[in-house]
Amino acid sequence: MPKNNNKILKMNIKIYLAELRWYCAGVHRAIDILNKAIEQFPTPIYVNHEIIHNKYIINYYEKKWIIFWEDLKNIPENSIMIMSAHWVGPEYIKKVKEKNIKYIDASCPLVVKVHNEAKKFLSEWYEIIYIWKKGHQEAEWVKEEDKNKINIISNIEDLNNLSTEGFSSLALLTQTTLSVNETKDLISKITEKYPEIILPKAKDICYATTNRQEAVEKICEKQLDLLIIIGSKNSSNSTKLKEIWEKKWIKSILIDSSEDIFNSPIIPFHKGDEHKKINIWISSWASVPEILVKEVLDFFKNNYNTEIEIVKTIEENIIFPSNLELK
Ligand code: SF4
């Protein structure tokens, strides 16, 4: 663990460590499936997307001959593939089967549930409005069910441009990882425009997203100088946590690992602050392995007078069973 000689070693740091920070049940299941597949099948094993959005995890598995590729052109026939936690659509699966690729479905059951609701509505001749975070694969793949009848929108402008003339029945679905707070204004505009629309069930929203965003409110009760979120920049949920905190005027940074702290002057102190106590909250998104959290804590312990307090927010005990069914 590096020591940062530029730091004032006597500085006192109080770290509040969020207890709710490790893998959600969907990520845990996907990783479990990947580990079992490595034991059971010859490598390379292909994964259709990053199994979870975390650089450390991706590097770790690449060293074990796991190849993360979406483009099927590069994947040889008769290979073994794992479909990652946020689902793949029917067109992709069709192409996989055409190449005789055997696959294991590691999709999160919560994502599959919303996907199945979309299929049910389509079979009953509904048109669907689906709220997504732009660029997220979950929506792209749900849309593969019927590109003409699933309208994906992410803001009021999209809603204003939406024409659903000719369809009497409309249903609303949302991406699992969007919280109630993120969608409530848009949903209220949708119901103004389409009062008859069938609304999504509250339980369609991912519990892990809701819990972590609710924990943010609790965090903001503390007097903080800095918030550190451990998570990769391509994880939309990690960047979302950062945005929420910034809206509450708390300086926050998103780091991949302790190296990022070492390489950048992130601690907000000035000359004369040597005896001041700096309060830092550390949290991570649901796709971050605990070893990265430990490394960041070790960094502080090695460089500062550090006191750590674990803060309980919301307890989670959901488990999704995993199995290695080859399809
Ligand atoms: S964040 Fe939620 S929806 Fe996504 S994998 Fe985890 S539990 Fe499933």
Q: Is 244 in the pocket of ligand 1 (CB under 6 A)?
A: no
For ligand 1, atom 7, the nearest C-alpha belongs to 26
Query: What does the pLDDT look like over 252-289, one tens digit per residue?
Result: 788 887 778 766 655 555 556 666 788 888 887 767 78
From the CA of 101, how far away is ligand 1's center (Å)? Answer: 26
- CA dist 270 and 289 (Å) reads 33
- The amino acid present at 26, given as its one-letter code, is G
Q: Where in the chain is the domain with CATH 3.40.1010.20?
A: 12-23+207-311, 110-204
pLDDT for 23: 77
pLDDT at 34 over 90: yes
Q: Is 179 in the pocket of ligand 1 (CB under 6 A)?
A: no
Q: Is 89 exposed, middle or buried (0-12, 13-18, 19+ CB in 10 A)?
A: middle
Give the strand order in the sheet containing 66-68: 66-68, 45-47, 80-83, 102-105
Q: Where in the chain is the domain with CATH 3.40.50.11270?
A: 25-108
Beta strands in the chain (DSSP E): 12-18, 45-47, 66-68, 80-83, 102-105, 127-131, 150-153, 170-174, 226-230, 252-255, 277-284, 305-311
| pLDDT confidence tier of residue 291, bands split at 50, 70 and 90 | confident
Active site residue 70: no
Place of tokens 């008859």: 196
Q: Is 231 in the pocket of ligand 1 (CB under 6 A)?
A: no
Q: Is 170 in the pocket of ligand 1 (CB under 6 A)?
A: no
For ligand 1, atom 5, the nearest C-alpha belongs to 26
For ligand 1, atom 2, the nearest C-alpha belongs to 206
Query: What does the pLDDT look like over 131-141, one tens digit per residue?
Result: 988 877 788 88
**Local structure of residue 201 (DSSP, 8 states):** P
Q: Is 51 in the pocket of ligand 1 (CB under 6 A)?
A: no
- The amino acid present at 324, given as its one-letter code, is L
Query: Which fold is adopted by the domain 25-108?
Result: Rossmann fold (3.40.50)
Residue 307 · residue 10 · CB < 8 Å = no
Q: Give the active site residue among 117, 138, 145, 182.
A: 138
Query: Which fold is adopted by the domain 110-204?
Result: Cobalt-precorrin-4 Transmethylase; domain 1 (3.40.1010)
Query: If DSSP codes are grouped into helix, strand and coil, which group holds residue 113?
Result: helix
Query: For the chain, percent helix, then strand, then coil, each to nearest 5?
Result: 40, 20, 45
From the CA of 94, how far away is ligand 1's center (Å)? Answer: 25
CATH class of the domain at 12-23+207-311 = alpha beta
Q: Is 180 exposed, middle or buried (0-12, 13-18, 19+ CB in 10 A)?
A: middle
Q: Is 177 in the pocket of ligand 1 (CB under 6 A)?
A: yes
Range among 75-79, 144-148, 244-248, 249-253 rated most confident: 75-79
